[in-house]
Structure 1
Amino acid sequence: MIVIPTIELQKGHCVTLNRGRLDEPELWHVDPVQRAVEFAAAGAEWLHLTDLDAASGDGSNEAIIEEIILKVGIPCQLAGGYRTLDHVAAGLDKGAGRIVIGSAAVRDPDFVKEAAKLHPDQIVLSIDVYQGHVVVNGWRDATVFEPVNFAREFEGAPLAAIVVTDIDAYAGDSDGSVGLISMVADAVRSPVIASGIVRSLDDISRLKYVRNIAGALVGHALFSKMFELEEAIAIARRDPEERWPT
């Protein structure tokens, strides 16, 4: 399993969201490009960048993201507002290693499947789960879909991975159990990336031994100095042949 540092960008700043609320971000007074370079220097193999403005349809952080891609020297997966095949292709052309698609997958599953066919092993499906159901539009709108059944809808597509966010854990409404993540990981063939449940090094230790977990997204815990990235990487690292290929 690998630890994937996460940088969420809003209006040019690094932020983390309180219960997914775009209007109440926690602002971190750091330079996003410098922080990305620091993550790479600390041993990160991948970097996850979320453009919250693009996701909400209120501008973008494209220039910062392009600068990060140029400077970090490691592959980046980009999330936020990818709704068309042209936009996906443009992101990859600018140097992204992978494109993450979330809410658009609920509205148009065929879009994700077609993107994966055109760009095999470069598309990541993102599934946000709250109280047992998939939610969309920044966690605001619940759907009727259960996470396992929804994930299985994409089984034939050559996805790079599936990101599963446990919103109950992310929002502090649960103890960060790996139950939801492991349930989805058991049900699909695509590698699963856990999101929303890492608050401590103990969480990394637990995830490391869950079958089919390829990685864990970690954002707030790193920005708030709950632990250092080097510590998390050391705990998560397995034998070289088991590591998620780049």
Structure 2
Amino acid sequence: MTEFSLYPSLDIVNKRALTSKSAIEITQRKGNEKKEIGSPLDIAFTYQNSGADWIHIVDLDAASGKKDNSDIIISIIKNKNIKMKTQVCGGIRTIKQLDKYINAGCSRVNISSMVFDNPKLCELILKEYGDKVAIALDVKLVGFNYQLTTQGWNKLQGSLCSTIEWLEQCGCTRYVVTDTNKGGMMNRPNITLINEVLKMTNKPIISGGGISNLSDIRTLKSTGVEGTILGQVIHSNKLPLNKFIDEAKVLNYAY
């Protein structure tokens, strides 16, 4: 079984690192309370000192089309004292924006809106960039069907099933699947959603949203996903990152 990886999330709004819940609420215009957890660089070092191999960096301003925090993100990617691999997402809608991160040394870039706004460009990118690019599937249950969302989860797009069918034909190498009703809520991962996606593809899947305790990553590991993003649960200090890292090591050893 594939080694299970953890992706502690660095959520950036207006050049500051916020808790996932606060950042999401601001992006979705559901609140304006900015609960800061520190400077982005300081938080990156905190994750690294806790033993993280990856960092998941989210530009929430760019995702919602407001601003751009790419200068801060690139400074983290290029920092010689940061040894973690980087996964970046949020507002990447052109090859120029994608190349900016790849050329800076980003390990992987997640794209989302481009799938719907410019499908031909998305298809080209998947063919040209291979494992350097993953597709972020931000999903919302509408009635009895899962729909994709973009623009900071503010805009509904096509169906999950038909989108994955097309992406499989385009050669997508990895999916990052998030239930938007779980993001920042610590209300358990949507295992039903994960299992549905697992039936549609044999590509690696990273789960996002809902982690509340150590048993959640045990459950996710058992499904066969490649890893999960950790946000609010570590930002709120409910459980420190190093506890999740230690648990993941145990799980990987056991399997």
Note if 1:236 corresponds to 2:239.
no
SS of residue matched to 1:63? helix
Per the alignment, residue 220 of structure 1 pairs with 232
Q: CA RMSD in A?
A: 2.3
**Does the 8 A contact of 2:37 with 2:235 survive in 1?**
no
Could you tell me how far apart the structure 2 residues matched to 1:173 and 1:202 are? 12
Could you tell me how far apart the structure 2 residues matched to 1:182 and 1:61 are? 34
Note if 1:121 corresponds to 2:131.
yes
* Deviation of the 1:156 alpha carbon: 3.6
Q: TM-score, normalised by structure 1?
A: 0.88
**Does the 8 A contact of 1:135 with 1:142 survive in 2?**
yes
Per the alignment, residue 163 of structure 1 pairs with 176
The one-letter code of the counterpart of 2:246 is A
The one-letter code of the counterpart of 1:139 is W
**Does the 8 A contact of 1:4 with 1:215 survive in 2?**
yes
* Deviation of the 1:173 alpha carbon: 11
Q: TM-score, normalised by structure 2?
A: 0.85
* Deviation of the 1:175 alpha carbon: 5.1
* Deviation of the 1:183 alpha carbon: 1.3
Q: Please, which runs of 5 or more residues in structure 1 have no aligned partner?
A: none
Per the alignment, residue 97 of structure 2 pairs with 87
Could you tell me how far apart the structure 2 residues matched to 1:21 and 1:227 are? 24
The one-letter code of the counterpart of 1:77 is Q
After TM superposition, the structure 1 = structure 2 runs for residues 108-147 of structure 1, keeping only pairs within 5 Å, are 108-131=118-141, 132-145=146-159, 147=160
Q: Percent identity of the aligned residues?
A: 24
Aligned in 2, Cα 1:62/1:174: closer, same or farther, shift over 3 Å? closer
Note if 1:39 corresponds to 2:47.
yes
Could you tell me how far apart the structure 2 residues matched to 1:2 and 1:64 are? 25
Residue from 210, 223, 236 that aligns with 1:210: 223
* Deviation of the 1:144 alpha carbon: 3.8
* Deviation of the 1:160 alpha carbon: 4.2
Could you tell me how far apart the structure 1 residues matched to 2:184 and 2:104 are? 33
After TM superposition, the structure 1 = structure 2 runs for residues 55-66 of structure 1, keeping only pairs within 5 Å, are 55-66=63-74
Segment of structure 1 superposing worse, 24-33 or 177-186:
24-33
CA deviation string 1:133-172 (max 9, x = no partner) = 1122222222341x23312211144444211111223365
Residue from 195, 208, 211 that aligns with 2:208: 195
Residue from 10, 14, 18 that aligns with 1:11: 14
**Does the 8 A contact of 1:20 with 1:139 survive in 2?**
no
Matched residues, number: 240
Residue from 76, 79, 82 that aligns with 2:86: 76
**Does the 8 A contact of 2:186 with 2:212 survive in 1?**
no
- Larger helix share, 1 or 2: 2
Could you tell me how far apart the structure 2 residues matched to 1:66 and 1:119 are? 19
**Does the 8 A contact of 2:13 with 2:59 survive in 1?**
yes
Could you tell me how far apart the structure 1 residues matched to 2:187 and 2:8 are? 22
The one-letter code of the counterpart of 1:116 is L
* Deviation of the 1:61 alpha carbon: 1.5
